[in-house]
Structure 1
Amino acid sequence: MKLIDKLFNTNNLLWVTLFLNITLVTAQTAFTNSGDLKIHNNGQIGFHIDVINNGDSVENEGLAGFYNQNNSLNFSGLNQMNFENFEVDVEDDLNLFTSIGVNDEVFFTNGRINTPRIDPLVKFKFLNDNVYTGEGDNEHVDGYAQFNGDFQFSFPVGDDFEMKPLAIDNFNNSFTYTAAYFKENPNTPTTFINSFDTNSFEPSLDVISTVEFWYFEGLKDLELTLTWTNSSNISQTASNLSDLRIAGWDDVQNVWVNLGNTGTTGDLNNGTITSRIPNTNDYKIYTIASILQAGNEVVVYNGMTPDGDGLNDTLIIRGIEGIPGNQLFIYNRWGRLVYQKDNYDNSFDGIANANATIKGDKELAAGTYYYVLKLPEQEDLAGYFYINR
């Protein structure tokens, strides 16, 4: 490796490239580094065959690229390689079995960079506030990407031949973050031990996407942005962008949590949703959710647990905030009115406020109750719900 190290300079650039291409292809099926390999300032190297790195090669300068218009290429070995500038132009993709890091600029010319989804320790790493160009549905990181820096960054991640970026507003937080996109039903993920039940969610949500989800690992309060396209079927999730929310999976309570919506762009076919996440360390799995099922205007939830834990403490009626002039009546199983409120605002917490035979401000017992919801210029809604204590 000492000879190659000496040759990597601007004056010998063309000769070295030809030397590697011809000699290594005829002698072996992969370029193997077992010593110290270094690309000097302004030097360039092109790998046209597989690379196995069992040596040291982390202080490279100049440009390194993987090129093949006929076959896929593999990068493997015991140790990670780091490059200053990096290009991938591989028709059938570059497959990483060992991580690669880049300090400056990444050029997605042709083909994807694949990492094994069963091994999140293997990543394509954007190491130092670096940038990239040329990304698209056929040119992205299909698997796990890592970023370290303190500015706004959009992870060029996707699954198969579709890119679905995840972006962060990371100003003044120089930390390391990891992201991946999964075009899979959260209920049946293929590369996770556990699943993420889309029927288990906070009462402030009404529907969780069963089309896709993102993995994101972070440690700080930051803005998170998810992307949707036609394949996301957002029109089946919500009728209006204002109803959309980012949801995060709480793996302690096994429930999807409403993480809000501070802004959206686009339409129901293509767009983005952003929300401020107070502590991204609380969640690892994210997706797009809605507070109202597409086509629904009002949804009454059928259970509440008024125990003061911040979950399901009140009777939630989604969409009621936008219907002034509504009236809510709640009856016990004997048909006695126990609660009523004009312009209901999701505040019923299991305390009676009506009927002379039932003391006002009395805590209602656990059990089944019935409601009638009167809506102006619409048919009344009626049904039942449970109070669990």
Structure 2
Amino acid sequence: MKNIAFLFFFLCTAIVSAQSALYNNGNLRIHNGGSIGFHTNFINESPMDNNLGMAGFYGSERITVSGTVTPQFYDMELALENDMQLDLGVDNISNTNFIFGNILTNLSQPNIFYNFVDNSFYNGENDFSKIEGYAAITNQQEFGFPIGDNEYLRPLILVSESINLFAKSAYFYEDANNPVSLANTYNTATKAFDVELVSTAEFWQLEGTVPSTVSLSWNLRSNLSRLTNDVSLIIPVGWSKAQQQWVNLSRSAPVGTITEGFITTRSILPDEFEIITFGTSKEPYEPLAKDVLFIDNFFVSVNGDGVNDTFYIEELEEFKSNFVQIYDRYGLKVFEKTNYTNEFVGFSNLDNVPFGAEEGLPTGVYFYTIHIPDEDLNYQGFLYLTR
């Protein structure tokens, strides 16, 4: 009875001061089979965990969740005409049901997020009901973050090699060159030489410490036609913290059309990149001019007989630096090396070959490209690998 009176007192006090809110400073708990409906702002100042019932947020007005102690809900339902604003993080340990209305967090405050804990999941997400801001996961391995902006659901799908103790993501419909919500800038003209262009329309931020693949989708608003008319050239790119430039994260060919599709990165460590977006790769290099450097197609037989055991290009010794990349016939990059000599012996060095990597790459035709930065020359050719 004292707890009820306490809550009622604070609720009445808030109403009198014309700032309607439910204030929790006691032991508020939703038991199994129970439910509570929030039609006003919620201020949480005391532990609120071990809930087993359902908490619903309803109404035509915006509801703000604030306070100093993160509330933890079991099942949560959202049906708000004017969204929910999080000024405090919220944990969900079972299900989040998006009916209508967004969960908003400030993109300039990454420490405030909606957290899907353990086996928590969601349903009903769409363009009009999602997380517009930061979403996080705790103790999950594979997850699609239901994130976006005020117009579109723009999810990021994370598939990790092991369970993430914590990972977090947000979507930004902003120009990476001068983002509104972030302090840093990411010059789209500063890029690795196998990246042709980088999108200025949108990007995602992803934090995580477990090697993972990331799948992103684009729509008409992504405006990738400003980058290319050839969908096969679309690649995922990330701003490398170490290199301070945009780098190619591609694993396989994109799927879809220039106005709608998706693509998946190679396995990356998310924390090595500031942000991720779309870019385009350079078109296949023109054949080498023979009066500069003649490079033929190669036969590589890694059988230890001392003949053609490595991919060796004698002419590269004439230049101070080079960059070599090798792709399989499906367009998957399997090898790359700066200042290459004769390191390729039939094995990938990118950790992105899904099966049998320890046994080496399979017999077949591979495509190689070479860049000579000192001369600004680009070359291409084929090699046949056998064992």
TM-score using structure 2 length:
0.73
Alignment of 1:296-375 (within 5 A): 318-320=283-285, 326-329=287-290, 337-341=291-295, 353=315, 361-363=317-319
* 8 Å CA contact 2:118, 2:140 repeated in 1: no
* 8 Å CA contact 1:339, 1:352 repeated in 2: no
Q: Please list the CA deviations of residues 92-151 of structure 1 after superposition, one character each: whole Å capped at 9, or x if unmatched.
A: 110000001100000111110000111100001111221111111111111000012334
Q: Structure 1 residues 90 and 207 mapped into 2: Cα distance closer, same or farther (>3 Å)?
A: same
2:97 is the counterpart of 1:107: yes
Q: Give the corresponding residue for 2:247.
A: 257
CA apart distance, 1:240: 3.0
Q: Structure 1 residues 2 and 157 mapped into 2: Cα distance closer, same or farther (>3 Å)?
A: farther
State the structure with more CA Rg.
1
One-letter identity of the residue aligned with 2:294: Q
2:205 is the counterpart of 1:244: no
Q: Give the corresponding residue for 2:260.
A: 270
> Counterparts of 2:123 and 2:183 in 1: how far apart (Å)?
34
2:53 is the counterpart of 1:62: yes
SS in 2 for 1:198: coil
Q: Give the corresponding residue for 2:120.
A: 130
> Counterparts of 1:243 and 1:137 in 2: how far apart (Å)?
28
2:54 is the counterpart of 1:39: no
SS in 2 for 1:89: strand
One-letter identity of the residue aligned with 2:199: S
Q: Structure 1 residues 131 and 44 mapped into 2: Cα distance closer, same or farther (>3 Å)?
A: same
One-letter identity of the residue aligned with 2:284: G
One-letter identity of the residue aligned with 1:153: F
Q: Please list the CA deviations of residues 264-309 of structure 1 after superposition, one character each: whole Å capped at 9, or x if unmatched.
A: 33322122111222322211310111104xxxxxxxxxxxxxxxxx
Q: Give the corresponding residue for 1:53.
A: 44
> Counterparts of 1:57 and 1:218 in 2: how far apart (Å)?
27
- Paired residues in the alignment total 310
- Give identity over the alignment, percent: 30
* 8 Å CA contact 1:221, 1:277 repeated in 2: yes
* 8 Å CA contact 2:169, 2:207 repeated in 1: yes
Q: Give the corresponding residue for 1:145.
A: 135
One-letter identity of the residue aligned with 2:94: D
Q: Structure 1 residues 263 and 340 mapped into 2: Cα distance closer, same or farther (>3 Å)?
A: closer
Q: Structure 1 residues 363 and 242 mapped into 2: Cα distance closer, same or farther (>3 Å)?
A: closer
Q: Structure 1 residues 204 and 23 mapped into 2: Cα distance closer, same or farther (>3 Å)?
A: same
* Correspondent of 2:211 among 200, 210, 221: 221
Moved more, 272-281 or 100-109: 272-281
Q: Structure 1 residues 270 and 48 mapped into 2: Cα distance closer, same or farther (>3 Å)?
A: same
> Counterparts of 2:66 and 2:258 in 1: how far apart (Å)?
41
Q: Structure 1 residues 342 and 327 mapped into 2: Cα distance closer, same or farther (>3 Å)?
A: farther
CA apart distance, 1:263: 4.6
* 8 Å CA contact 1:221, 1:276 repeated in 2: no
Q: Give the corresponding residue for 2:166.
A: 176
Q: Structure 1 residues 150 and 74 mapped into 2: Cα distance closer, same or farther (>3 Å)?
A: closer
SS in 2 for 1:231: helix
One-letter identity of the residue aligned with 2:275: I
One-letter identity of the residue aligned with 1:176: F
* 8 Å CA contact 2:164, 2:210 repeated in 1: no
Q: Give the corresponding residue for 1:306.
A: none
Q: Structure 1 residues 343 and 4 mapped into 2: Cα distance closer, same or farther (>3 Å)?
A: farther
* 8 Å CA contact 1:327, 1:342 repeated in 2: no
> Counterparts of 2:317 and 2:288 in 1: how far apart (Å)?
19
SS in 1 for 2:47: coil
* 8 Å CA contact 2:53, 2:75 repeated in 1: yes
Q: Structure 1 residues 269 and 363 mapped into 2: Cα distance closer, same or farther (>3 Å)?
A: closer
CA apart distance, 1:363: 4.0
* 8 Å CA contact 1:114, 1:141 repeated in 2: yes
> Counterparts of 2:273 and 2:318 in 1: how far apart (Å)?
38
* 8 Å CA contact 1:181, 1:214 repeated in 2: yes
> Counterparts of 2:247 and 2:274 in 1: how far apart (Å)?
12
SS in 2 for 1:235: helix
* 8 Å CA contact 1:328, 1:341 repeated in 2: no
TM-score using structure 1 length:
0.72
> Counterparts of 1:247 and 1:274 in 2: how far apart (Å)?
11
Q: Give the corresponding residue for 1:208.
A: 198
Q: Structure 1 residues 364 and 45 mapped into 2: Cα distance closer, same or farther (>3 Å)?
A: closer
Q: Please list the CA deviations of residues 51-77 of structure 1 after superposition, one character each: whole Å capped at 9, or x if unmatched.
A: 1111121222110011112x1111101
Q: Please list the CA deviations of residues 217-256 of structure 1 after superposition, one character each: whole Å capped at 9, or x if unmatched.
A: 0111111101111100122223333322111111232100
Q: Give the corresponding residue for 2:21.
A: 30
Q: Structure 1 residues 236 and 222 mapped into 2: Cα distance closer, same or farther (>3 Å)?
A: same
- Please give the root-mean-square deviation of Cα atoms over the aligned residues, in Å: 3.0
> Counterparts of 1:4 and 1:165 in 2: how far apart (Å)?
41
> Counterparts of 2:119 and 2:89 in 1: how far apart (Å)?
18
Residue ranges of structure 2 left out of the alignment (5+ in a row): 299-312, 322-371, 377-387
CA apart distance, 1:163: 1.2
* Correspondent of 2:145 among 121, 136, 155: 155
> Counterparts of 1:24 and 1:259 in 2: how far apart (Å)?
55
Moved more, 185-194 or 163-172: 163-172
CA apart distance, 1:387: 4.2
